[in-house]
Amino acid sequence: MKPLIFDNIDEPGLNTLAVYERRGGYEMLRKALAMPREAVLQEISDSGLRGRGGAGFPMGMKAGFLPKGDMPKYLTCNADESEPGTFKDRELMQKSPHMLIEGIAIACYAAAITQAFIYIRGEYRLQGDILEAAIAEAYAAGYLGDGILDSGQPLSLVLHRGAGAYICGEETGLLDSLEGKRGNPRLKPPFPAIQGLYDGPTLINNVETLATVPHVIRLGGKQYAEIGVERSSGTKLVSVSGDVQRPGNYEIELGIPSREIIFGLAGGPQPGREVKLWFPGGSSSPVLTRDDLDLPYDFDSMAKAGTMLGSGAIIVVDDTHTVLEVMSKVVKFYAHESCGKCVPCREGTNWTHKMVHRIESGEATPMDLDLLASVQTQIIGNCLCVLGDAMAMPVGSMVAKFRPELEAEVEAARERAGTPSLASAGAGVPVH
């Protein structure tokens, strides 16, 4: 397969307009502007392009939800990329910022949007600087501004830098943050497509999703849909990290066996080690084991396996690490990043964090694993956004899939801490 997004990605100067144009850049914007808006939207719908940011919602359908009419509408590119294990948007923005800008311009044209924002996480200073320069070039060249390419379609694009909060990747948290507030998620409905930024209809898509749009236009929607598998069309950037020999971003055709990514591309664990568990789609996805390595890597197969493709971030953990260690990091992350707005997430993540700490300090009993699992089920489905679930699901999956190992770790921790053995202390959860 020939890469689409990562084609020429390391070409020196690709981040500049001159090189990007030499590589055929912005031709697709010209092509799109020559088509009726509806036709462009139709191509996107035909492509079956599903969101690359986490939820995998078809982009064409989302853009189709935007009400027609004259009200101000907005596009927001989600470049907050904070899901642990995910770093694809970073490389894309750093090396090919104009591809993103072109995708944004086409999407805005298709959805009759005249004001767009890129919300980039504040930590991405380099990428933000590069994008800012690219935006300035695009304005100067007439790809952005009052009438892009003399089409009469105005488009203004503003880069907005965040300041460090994972929840601002959640689309409604992002909107509040972009409005200058704390990045707390909003109740849905209303969905952003109906009432989003400044209460106007708002299309929110991930960097990679938008950067794919020029390729959809180039190939044609139907043609694009031929790549990949049914209901998971196209290519996907996969960030592979953890215990592998060649960590990094890989562009793959959706539907290839996971083993091919983890072992074929990323080289698998260091010699002599074995995969113990892996996250197929960022730290929010329920974990898989070495038995799942042959699953096809696409949205539906992952869903069928009880997990999700998410952002396409594969984190591999080999057998030199304990499950408890991984769980502890996951839990600490979500407890730190919970925005605190809703009760089950705020208290659930923080309670879980304390529980895991108790396990680690040798003060727990194996029965506490039941409590841990039960608290996770109490979180799932009850929160305002899905950050709570994003901790509860992987943690729940670890308890379910690695119970014997976790029990052994509970015991081992007790031993380390010198806590009296259960036989003498009398097992059980203290009742208060």
Partner 1 sequence: MPRPEQKLIKLTIDGREIEAVEGTMLVDAAKQGDVEIPYFCYERRLGQPVGACRMCLVEIEGIPKLQTSCSTGVRDGMVVHTQTERVHEAQNAIVEFLLVNHPLDCPVCDKGGECPLQDISFGWGLGRTRVVEPKRHFQKPLALSPLIAIDRERCILCYRCVRFSQEIAEDWQLIFADRGSHTFVSTHDGHPYVAPFSGNIVELCPVGALTSQPYRFRARPWDIEGAGGVCTLCPAQCNVEFTVRDEKVVRVLIREHDGVDDGWLCDKGRFAYQAIHVDERITRPLVRDGGQLRPVSWERAFETAAEIARHQGRTAALVGGGASNEEAFLLQRLLREGLYSHDIDSRPGGALPLELARTLAAPALQASVPDLEFAHTVLVLGTEPLDEIPILDLRIRKGVRRNGVKLAIASPRPSALDPNAAVSLRYAPDGEAAFLSALEAALGHASSGSGDDVASLAELLRSGGEDVVIVYGESLAPAALESLVRIARLLGLEGRDGAGLLGVPASANGRGVREAGALPNAGPGYAELGAPRGRDAAAIAAAAAGGELSALYLLEVDPVRELPDRAAWEAALHHAGLVIAHASVLTDGLRDHATVIFPAESHAEKEGTVVHPDGRLQRLRAAIAHPGEVRAGWSVIAELARRCGHDLGVLTSSMAFRQLVAAVPFYAGITLEQIGGRGVRWPERPEAAALPAGGGSAQTPGAAAGTVQPAAAGQTNGHLRLGTYRSIWAAPEVEISPALHYTIAEQLVELSPADARRLEVGDGDEVLVGSGGTRLRGRAAVRTGVPEGTAFLATGIAQASANHLTEPLVEVRRA
Partner 2 sequence: MSAIDRRPPVPRFGHGSRVPGWDVAVDLAKPPATVPDPATTPVPDELRSEIEQAMGRYPNPRSAAIPALHAAQRHHGWLPPEAIAQVACVMALTPAYLTSVASFYDMFALRPKPRHDVYVCTNITCSLLGADEIHERMIELAGDHPDLNVCSFECLGACDIGPMASVNGEYVGPINLDDCEQIARDLDKGGPVLEHKQLRFRRCADPNANPES
- Binding string to ligand FMN for residues 202 to 231, with x set by CB under 6 A, is what? --xxx--x----------------------
Q: What residues from 366 to 385 belong to the interface with ligand FMN (CB under 6 A)?
A: 385
In the complex with partner 2, the residue whose CB is nearer, 72 or 154, is 72
Among ligand SF4, ligand FMN, partner 2, none, the one that 250 touches (CB under a kind-dependent 5 to 8 A) is partner 2
The yes or no reply on residue 388 touching ligand FMN (CB under 6 A) is: no
In angstroms, what is the minimal distance from the CB of 426 to partner 2? 26
Tell me if 297 sits within 8 A of 256, measured CB to CB: yes
Q: What residues from 144 to 173 belong to the interface with ligand SF4 (CB under 6 A)?
A: 167
In angstroms, what is the minimal distance from the CB of 38 to ligand SF4? 36
Among partner 1, partner 2, ligand FMN, none, the one that 30 touches (CB under a kind-dependent 5 to 8 A) is none
In angstroms, what is the minimal distance from the CB of 337 to ligand FMN? 8
Among ligand FMN, partner 1, partner 2, none, the one that 204 touches (CB under a kind-dependent 5 to 8 A) is ligand FMN
In the complex with partner 2, the residue whose CB is nearer, 250 or 402, is 250
Among ligand FMN, partner 1, partner 2, none, the one that 378 touches (CB under a kind-dependent 5 to 8 A) is partner 1
- CA-CA distance, 293 to 279, in Å (whole number)? 11
Tell me if 287 sits within 8 A of 321, measured CB to CB: no
DSSP state for residue 13 in the 8-state scheme: T
- CA-CA distance, 343 to 309, in Å (whole number)? 27
The yes or no reply on residue 209 touching ligand SF4 (CB under 6 A) is: no
H helix intervals, 78-203:
88-95, 97-110, 125-140, 171-178
Q: Among 25, 48, 53, 281, which residue interacts with ligand FMN (rule: CB under 6 A)?
A: 53
Q: Among 15, 45, 47, 78, which residue interacts with ligand FMN (rule: CB under 6 A)?
A: 78
Q: Which of 98, 101, 96 is nearest to 118 (CA)?
A: 101
Q: Among 51, 128, 183, 185, which residue interacts with ligand SF4 (rule: CB under 6 A)?
A: 185
Please, which residues have CB within 8 angstroms of residue 113's CB and are 6 or more apart in sequence?
66, 73, 74, 75, 107, 155, 203
In angstroms, what is the minimal distance from the CB of 73 to partner 2? 11
Tell me if 297 sits within 8 A of 258, measured CB to CB: yes
- CA-CA distance, 285 to 306, in Å (whole number)? 9
Place of tokens 């203290």: 430
- CA-CA distance, 113 to 109, in Å (whole number)? 6
In the complex with partner 2, the residue whose CB is nearer, 44 or 275, is 275
In the complex with ligand SF4, the residue whose CB is nearer, 343 or 412, is 343
In the complex with ligand FMN, the residue whose CB is nearer, 167 or 372, is 167
In the complex with ligand SF4, the residue whose CB is nearer, 54 or 185, is 185
Task: Please give the full DSSP string across 363-427, using - where no structure is assigned.
Answer: ---THHHHHHHHHHHHHTTTSSSSHHHHHHHHHHHHHHHSHHHHHHHHHHHHHHHTPPPHHHH--
In the complex with ligand FMN, the residue whose CB is nearer, 149 or 213, is 213
The yes or no reply on residue 54 touching ligand FMN (CB under 6 A) is: yes
Question: Quick one: 408 exposed, middle or buried, by C-beta within 10 A (0-12, 13-18, 19+)?
Answer: middle
Q: What is the largest CA-CA distance in the chain?
A: 82
Among partner 2, partner 1, ligand FMN, none, the one that 211 touches (CB under a kind-dependent 5 to 8 A) is none
In the complex with partner 2, the residue whose CB is nearer, 90 or 401, is 90
The site that binds ligand FMN (CB under 6 A) totals a number of residues, namely: 23
Q: Among 107, 193, 315, 385, which residue interacts with ligand SF4 (rule: CB under 6 A)?
A: 385
Give the pairing type, strands 275-279 and 313-318: antiparallel
The yes or no reply on residue 340 touching ligand SF4 (CB under 6 A) is: yes
Among ligand FMN, partner 1, ligand SF4, none, the one that 57 touches (CB under a kind-dependent 5 to 8 A) is ligand FMN
**In this structure, what token pair is assigned to residue 214?**
């020029």
The yes or no reply on residue 309 touching ligand FMN (CB under 6 A) is: no
Task: Please give the full DSSP string across 181-196, using - where no structure is assigned.
Answer: S--PPPPSSSPTTTS-
Q: Which of 135, 98, 142, 78 is nearest to 8 (CA)?
A: 98
Tell me if 271 sits within 8 A of 234, measured CB to CB: no
The yes or no reply on residue 45 touching ligand FMN (CB under 6 A) is: no
Q: Which of 8, 1, 20 is nearest to 219 (CA)?
A: 1
Q: How far is CA 123 from the centre of its chain?
A: 16
Q: Rule CB under 6 A: which residues touch ligand FMN?
A: 51-55, 57, 78, 80-83, 167, 169-171, 204-206, 209, 385-387, 390
Q: Rule CB under 6 A: which residues touch ligand SF4?
A: 167, 185, 338-342, 345-346, 383-385, 387-388
